[in-house]
Amino acid sequence: MSSTAAPRATNFPVILLWVASLAAAAVGYLIMTNAINAQAELYAAGSQDVHAMLAGQSSATLGTTLIGVGVLGLLLALAVHAHNFALAQAQAALMVDDFDEFDETEIVHSTTTPVEGAAAEATATQATDEPVEVVEVEDEVIVVADAADEAPAADKKPATPAS
């Protein structure tokens, strides 16, 4: 059994996604904390500057949005890595070479299980009082009807007088 690892290729877009996501989350955190600190200073000073207060609120909103985008990017990068890992495992499983020991005689094709075959035999025996030939072939039961059995008669309609 030979087990060769799948070739590992560097995926630059995924690495770039990791770096950009971390950078977006870090920049968002810095913007948010600076905006909150600026708002706290305005409230502590008792300032009535509405423009500075609204700018601080919008900066805090922008910072939290960047943090959310960064976290979403990290989750997406993690999902891509998990998918690539599963794909590499599947490819490695296909690389296994155990076909040298394959023996075709081990394959048994059967459409019925032995229990179903025995039930079919019992049903066939009970349905007719005529003898039934049973042939067993490697865990399968095949019921063979006698050659003297007739095909079911076609339905005949009684003749109606023509008027």
The residue range of the domain holding 74 is 12-98
Judge whether 93 lies within some domain.
yes
Q: How confident is the model at residue 1 (pLDDT cuts 50, 70, 90)?
A: very low
62, part of any domain: yes
The answer to whether the beta carbons of residues 97 and 2 sit under 8 Å apart is yes
Q: Is 16 helix (H, G, I), strand (E, B) or coil?
A: helix
Instruction: Tell me if residue 124 falls in helix, strand or coil.
Output: helix
- Residue 74 confidence (pLDDT) above 80: yes
Q: What pLDDT does 151 receive?
A: 57
In DSSP terms, 143 is beta-bridged to 134
In this predicted structure, the answer to whether residue 55 has a pLDDT above a threshold of 90 is: yes
Which helix (H) or strand (E) segment is 21 a member of? helix 12-45
Give mean pLDDT, residues 120-148.
Answer: 57
Q: How many domains does the structure of the chain reveal?
A: 1
- Provide the pLDDT for residue 29: 97
Q: Are the CB atoms for 14 and 87 separated by under 8 Å?
A: no
Query: Cα-atom radius of gyration of the chain, to the nearest Å?
Result: 39
Residue 141 has pLDDT above 60, yes or no: no
- Between CA 100 and CA 90 the distance in angstroms is 21
Residues 6+ apart with CB under 8 A from 17: 73, 76, 77, 80
| 32 is a domain residue | yes
Q: Tokens 């060769």: give the residue.
A: 4
Question: Is 114 part of any domain?
Answer: no
**Residue 134 counted as domain residue:** no
For the chain, what is the total number of helices (H) and then of strands (E)?
3, 2
159 falls within a domain: no
Q: What is the pLDDT of residues 94-125, one digit of tens each?
A: 776 555 555 555 555 556 555 555 566 666 55
